[in-house]
């Protein structure tokens, strides 16, 4: 296969507002050992992309400085040692960077075939959110059948994924916070037992009433400091708080830590990007074995709010920052 010498990509000349991103032309990335080169057909837009654009989430030293952490497209080149994929395969991948481009080099260990019946847009909406939810809600927090869970940001890409996976794997009750009644209704349609409008309701009181004062077994939180004490109050004995972001700040002051000891709570958290290649491979393998069959039979599906051409990347980021979306924002490449 003859590849072009150059590609279009979204450049970030400086940190700042969405308008700082510009389209540029540059050389194609090269697939290193263990990597594949993908001709990108669609790329997901995620909160970490916004943070990187703002200067708050720097790319690792060995990663592409180009924005974009999830892609879907066609394999066009194989790096040394790659045997599980072939030229022409349709794949989606968790990228370490470089997704906002016509071509992207990704580790084969972070790559998955499209679920049967999927197109590029649906496939591109999977990697970042499904890797994150599976790792934090199931592997680390240990959500199991029959347990109860509270998911903050229920209408986000992470939230809509977490609600569906919690339901698919037998959670007894699923509670989700969101910022409007319409968003709460959307959460309930996806499988939430009760959507909680955090603008008009106190989720601590709702959880207390819904669980007869017992609390929930697991909380998936992307808010951080401003919810920390309230999250501890909402957990049941031996419960687990799993933190994945700090939209409400990273520093909690004057927090009463007593519930951690009295209720034997576990507080954990992680970000995906710094994980090792082997850790990401383990998550990938779990997804293929346990989640991909549920995508293929329709039990779980990505919720896509809007699809934009990558020339409108500034509009995509503005939409993400507005928090008015329900589900994923995806860009298509040409």
* SS3 track for 229-277: HHHHHHEEEEEEEEECCCCCCCCCCCCCCHHHHHCCCEEEECCCCCCCH
* Rounded Cα distance, 158 and 306, in Å: 15
* Rounded Cα distance, 213 and 88, in Å: 55
Distances (CA, A) of 259 to 203, 224, 255, 270, 288: 17, 17, 10, 22, 37
Q: Count other Cβ atoms within 10 Å, centred on residue 65.
A: 12
Identify the pLDDT of residue 176: 98
Q: What is the pTM of this model?
A: 0.96
Angle between helices 313-322 and 47-54 (to 10 degrees): 110
| Domain residue spans of the chain | 6-126+273-332, 130-269
- 328-332 and 35-45: which strand pairing? antiparallel
Backbone angles phi, psi at 122, to 5 degrees: -65, -40
In tens digits, what is the pLDDT along the chain, a chain of 334 residues? 799 999 999 999 999 999 999 999 999 999 999 999 999 999 999 999 999 999 999 988 889 999 999 999 999 999 999 999 999 999 999 999 999 999 999 999 999 999 999 999 999 999 999 999 999 999 999 999 999 999 999 999 999 999 999 999 999 999 999 999 999 999 999 999 999 999 999 999 999 999 999 999 999 999 999 999 999 999 999 999 999 999 888 898 888 999 999 999 999 999 998 899 999 999 999 999 999 999 999 999 999 999 999 999 999 999 999 999 999 999 999 7
Identify the pLDDT of residue 41: 98
Q: What architecture is domain 6-126+273-332?
A: Alpha-Beta Complex (3.90)
What are the start-end ranges of the E strands in 96-187?
A: 103-107, 111-113, 148-151, 173-178
* Rounded Cα distance, 192 and 299, in Å: 14
CA count, 13 A, side-chain hemisphere, 40: 33
Cα 282 to chain centroid, rounded: 17
End-to-end alpha carbon distance in the chain: 18
Identify the pLDDT of residue 81: 97
Asked if 3 and 36 touch (Cβ cutoff 8 Å), the reply is no
* Rounded Cα distance, 163 and 165, in Å: 6
CA count, 13 A, side-chain hemisphere, 312: 13
Domain 130-269 belongs in CATH node 3.40.47.10: no
Q: CA torsion 203→225→184→173, rounded to 10°?
A: -60
Identify the pLDDT of residue 56: 92
SS3 category, 24: strand
Identify the pLDDT of residue 313: 98
Identify the pLDDT of residue 13: 96
């Amino acid at each position: 296969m003859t590849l072009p010498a150059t590609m279009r990509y979204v450049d970030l000349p400086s940190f700042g507002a969405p308008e700082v991103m510009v389209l540029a032309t540059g050389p194609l990335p090269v697939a290193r050992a263990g990597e594949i080169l993908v001709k990108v057909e669609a790329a997901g837009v995620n909160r970490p992309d916004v943070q990187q654009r703002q200067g708050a989430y720097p790319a690792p030293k060995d990663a592409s400085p180009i924005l974009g952490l999830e892609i879907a497209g066609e394999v066009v080149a194989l790096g040394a040692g790659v045997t599980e994929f072939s030229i022409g395969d349709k794949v989606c991948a968790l990228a370490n960077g470089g997704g906002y481009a016509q071509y992207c080099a990704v580790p084969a260990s972070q790559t998955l075939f499209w679920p049967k019946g999927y197109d590029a847009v649906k496939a591109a909406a999977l990697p970042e959110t499904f890797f994150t939810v599976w790792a934090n809600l199931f592997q680390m927090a240990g959500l199991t059948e029959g347990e109860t869970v509270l998911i903050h940001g229920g209408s986000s890409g992470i939230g809509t994924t977490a609600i569906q996976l919690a339901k698919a794997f037998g959670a007894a009750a699923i509670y989700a916070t969101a910022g409007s009644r319409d968003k709460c209704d959307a959460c309930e349609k996806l499988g939430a037992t009760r959507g909680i409008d955090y603008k008009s309701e106190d989720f601590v009181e709702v959880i207390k009433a819904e669980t007869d004062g017992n609390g929930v077994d697991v909380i998936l939180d992307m808010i951080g400091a401003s919810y920390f004490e309230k999250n501890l109050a909402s957990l049941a004995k031996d419960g687990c708080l799993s933190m994945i972001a700090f939209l409400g700040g990273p520093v909690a002051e004057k927090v009463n830590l007593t519930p951690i000891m009295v209720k034997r709570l576990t507080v954990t958290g992680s970000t995906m990007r710094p994980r090792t290649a082997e850790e990401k491979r383990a998550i990938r393998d779990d997804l293929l074995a346990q989640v991909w069959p549920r995508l293929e039979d329709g039990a779980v599906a990505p919720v896509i709010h809007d699809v934009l051409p990558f020339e409108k990347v500034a509009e995509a980021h503005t939409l993400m920052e507005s928090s008015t979306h329900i589900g994923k924002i995806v860009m298509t490449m040409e």
